[in-house]
Amino acid sequence: MAGTGTAHLRGDKALLRAEHLVVEFPAKGGKKVHAVSDVSLDVLPGETLGLVGESGCGKSTTGHALVRLTKPTSGHIWFEGEDLAAQNARTLRRTRARLQMIFQDPIASLNPFRKIIDIVIEPLRIWKIGDKAARARRGREILETVGLDPEVAGQRRASELSGGQCQRVSIARSVMLDPKLIICDEPVSALDVSVQASILNLLEDMKEQYGLSLIFIAHDLAVVKKVSDRVVVMYLGKICEVGTSEGLYEEPLHPYTANLLAAIPDADAPVAAISEQEAELPSPLDPPSGCRFRTRCPRAEQRCADEEPVITEHRPGHFAACHFPLVGNTADDDRAMQAAEV
Amino acid sequence: MTRPDEESPVSRNGKHGDDVLTASTSAPSTDADLPESTGGQAGVPLLEVEDFVTEFETPRGMVRAVDGVSFTLERGRTVGIVGESGSGKTVLSRSLMKLTPESKKVNRQGVVRLDGEDILDASVRRMRGIWATRMAMVFQDPMTTLHPLKKIGDQIVESIREHRKVSKAEARESAVALLRSLRIPEAATRANQYPSQLSGGMRQRVAIAVALACDPEIVFADEPTTALDVTVQAQILDLLATMQAKRHMAMVLVSHDLGVVRGRTDDLIVMYAGQVVEQGPTATVLDAPRMPYTEALLESTPRLDSPRHLRLPTIEGRPPNPLAFPPGCRFAPRCRYAQDRCLTEAPPLTRDGDRAYRCFYPVGSEENAAAAKTNRSRGATAAGLAVSDGVEAVSV
Output the average pLDDT for chain A: 88
pLDDT tens per residue, range A132-179: 999 999 999 999 999 999 998 999 999 888 889 999 999 999 999 999
pLDDT tens per residue, range B225-259: 887 888 888 888 988 999 999 999 999 999 988 98
d(CA A327, CA A223): 25
Residues 6+ apart with CB under 8 A from A55: A219, B200, B229
A263 neighbourhood in chain B, CB within 8 Å: 230-231, 233-234
Distance from CA of A227 to the nearest CA of B (A): 5
Given a cut of 90, whether residue B41 has pLDDT beyond it is no
| Chain B residue nearest residue A50, CA to CA | B308
Give pLDDT, residue B1: 39
Interface contact flag, B302 A197, Cβ < 8 Å: yes
Interface contact flag, A194 B199, Cβ < 8 Å: no
Interface contact flag, B229 A219, Cβ < 8 Å: yes
Among A285, A331, A336, which residue's Cα sits nearest to residue A315?
A: A336
SS3 per-residue string spanning B39-105: CCCCCCCCEEEEEEEEEEEECCEEEEEEEEEEEEECCCCEEEEECCCCCCHHHHHHHHCCCCCCCCC
Q: Assess B312–A contact: CB distance below 8 Å, yes or no.
A: yes
Given a cut of 70, whether residue B100 has pLDDT beyond it is yes
A240 neighbourhood in chain B, CB within 8 Å: none
Give pLDDT, residue A269: 53
Q: How do strand B106-114 and strand B47-58 relate by DSSP bridges?
A: antiparallel
| Beta-bridge partner residues of A34 | A24
Among A48, A50, A54, A42, which residue's Cα sits nearest to residue A13?
A: A42
For chain B, the distance separating the N- and C-terminal CA atoms, rounded to the nearest angstrom, is 45
Give pLDDT, residue A284: 86
Output the average pLDDT for chain B: 85
Query: Any idea what DSSP says for residue B379?
Result: T
| Chain A residue nearest residue B255, CA to CA | A192
- Give long-range contacts, CB 8 A cutoff, 24+ apart: A90-96: A92/A68, A96/A67, A96/A68
Given a cut of 80, whether residue A257 has pLDDT beyond it is yes
pLDDT band at B92 (very low <50, low <70, confident <90, very high): very high
Alpha helices in chain B (DSSP H): 8-24, 29-32, 89-96, 124-128, 142-145, 152-163, 168-181, 187-190, 200-212, 230-247, 258-261, 282-287, 292-299, 340-344, 366-378, 389-395
Give pLDDT, residue B40: 53
Give pLDDT, residue B202: 87
Query: Any idea what DSSP says for residue A97?
Result: T
Among A223, A278, A251, which residue's Cα sits nearest to residue A241?
A: A251
pLDDT band at A334 (very low <50, low <70, confident <90, very high): very low
Alpha helices in chain A (DSSP H): 59-66, 89-96, 116-126, 132-145, 163-175, 193-210, 221-227, 245-250, 255-262, 302-306, 331-341
Q: Assess B35–A contact: CB distance below 8 Å, yes or no.
A: no
Query: Any idea what DSSP says for residue A86?
Result: G
d(CA B377, CA A180): 42
Q: What percent of chain A has pLDDT over 70?
A: 90
A281 neighbourhood in chain B, CB within 8 Å: 199
pLDDT tens per residue, range A105-121: 888 899 999 999 999 99
Interface contact flag, A270 B300, Cβ < 8 Å: no
Q: Assess B242–A contact: CB distance below 8 Å, yes or no.
A: no
The pTM for the full model equals 0.82
Pick from A327-341, B324-338, B358-372: least confident: A327-341
pLDDT tens per residue, range B56-91: 998 989 999 999 999 999 999 999 999 988 899 999
pLDDT tens per residue, range A276-296: 445 567 888 889 999 999 988
Given a cut of 70, whether residue B119 has pLDDT beyond it is yes
Given a cut of 70, whether residue B94 has pLDDT beyond it is yes
What is the arrangement of strands in the sheet containing B355-357, beginning at the earlier edge strand? B135-138, B218-222, B250-255, B78-82, B267-272, B275-281, B355-357, B350-352
d(CA A222, CA B305): 8
pLDDT band at A268 (very low <50, low <70, confident <90, very high): low
Rounded mean pLDDT of B303-319? Answer: 85
pLDDT tens per residue, range B146-198: 999 999 999 999 999 988 899 999 999 999 999 998 888 889 999 999 998 88
Among A333, A271, A336, A325, which residue's Cα sits nearest to residue A299?
A: A325
A266 neighbourhood in chain B, CB within 8 Å: 259, 262, 303-304
B394 neighbourhood in chain A, CB within 8 Å: none
Given a cut of 70, whether residue B15 has pLDDT beyond it is no
Q: What percent of chain A has pLDDT over 90?
A: 69
Given a cut of 50, whether residue B26 has pLDDT beyond it is no
Measure the CA angle with vertex A155, ends A151 and A159; round to 5°.
135
Interface contact flag, A225 B308, Cβ < 8 Å: yes
Decide if B160 contacts B213 (C-beta within 8 A). Answer: yes
Given a cut of 80, whether residue B18 has pLDDT beyond it is no
Q: Assess B297–A contact: CB distance below 8 Å, yes or no.
A: yes
CA distances from A81 to A14, A19, A77, B205, B301 (A): 10, 13, 10, 49, 39
Q: Assess A223–B contact: CB distance below 8 Å, yes or no.
A: yes
Distance from CA of B301 to the nearest CA of A (A): 6
pLDDT tens per residue, range A18-59: 999 999 999 888 889 999 999 999 999 999 999 998 888 999
Given a cut of 70, whether residue A335 has pLDDT beyond it is no
A255-262 and B230-247 helices, crossing angle to 10°: 50
Decide if B186 contacts A279 (C-beta within 8 A). Answer: no
- Exposure string over A118-135, b if 16+ CB within 10 A, otherwise e: bbbbbbbeeeebeeeeeb
DSSP assignment string, A239-270: EEEEEEHHHHHHS--SHHHHHHHHT--BTTBP
A162 neighbourhood in chain B, CB within 8 Å: 318
In a mutational test of the A interface, the residue from B184, B228, B308 whose CB has the highest number of chain A CBs within 10 Å is B308
